[in-house]
Amino acid sequence: MGVVAIVGRPNVGKSTLFNRLIQKREAIVEPTSGVTRDRHYGKANWGGVSFTVIDTGGYVANSEDIFQVEIDKQVELAIEQADVILFLVSVTDGVVAMDRDIMQLLRKERKPVLTVINKVDNHHMAQLSVEFYDMGIANYYNISSINGSGTGDLLDEVIKYL
Ligand code: GDP
Ligand code: MG
């Protein structure tokens, strides 16, 4: 079965997307960042294609915190296991330094990476996402993990790699 890993810095909505994809409440979603320490696995299906989704903890490069080092290790394992990686960022914050660290990490991979701009809950937010295009991210998907908008188009693309 194909494997999809959800990767990003803390608080961009990885666990919320994971829960939407597996349609159950399994991953821990907290307003406090960095709650998912290890990898969480779930089963999902789109258009008759079944796949495994991995939710990961928020990646923070070069941390000296022993818990964060462990989280980062788990993220790297999830990336190794994945057939396609969803790199999540948040439209509410734009591209921040922590996102760039992850982009650097993912650039080393010879795996398909889909950049996903989350928290695009409405038209107004969709206009803000143009900023990402200006940052040189030419290809991305606007989604709202909370209301589900855009997730269908994203999944149509995801299953092409599985
Ligand atoms: P994670 O740390 O990346 O796993 O992020 P979480 O899934 O725990 O979500 C962090 C916060 O962002 C929570 O308060 C979520 O409710 C919120 N959030 C997640 N997805 C969305 C979204 O699509 N729109 C909005 N407005 N908030 C979201
Ligand atoms: Mg989480």
Convert the pLDDT of each residue in 80-138 to its tens digit. 999 999 999 999 999 999 999 999 999 988 899 999 999 999 999 999 888 787 666 77
Give, for ligand 1, the residue of 21, 29, 53 to mutate: max count of ligand atoms closer than 8 Å to Cβ.
29
Residue range 2-161, CATH number? 3.40.50.300
Distance 55 CA to ligand 2 centre (A): 7
**What are the helix (H) ranges across 23-91?**
66-81
**Has this prediction a pTM greater than 0.90?**
yes
CA neighbours closer than 13 Å in the CB half-sphere of residue 45: 4
Q: Which ligand is nearest to the CA of 92?
A: 1
74 within 8 A of 57, measured Cβ to Cβ? yes
**Domain residue ranges of the chain, discontinuous segments joined by +:** 2-161
Indicate which atom in ligand 1 lies nearest the CA of residue 36: 4
The number of the ligand nearest the C-alpha atom of 88 reads 1
**Residue-wise pLDDT tens digits, 23-74:** 865 554 544 454 555 678 889 999 999 999 999 999 999 999 999 999 999 9
Ligand 1 neighbour 139 (Cβ under 6 A):
no
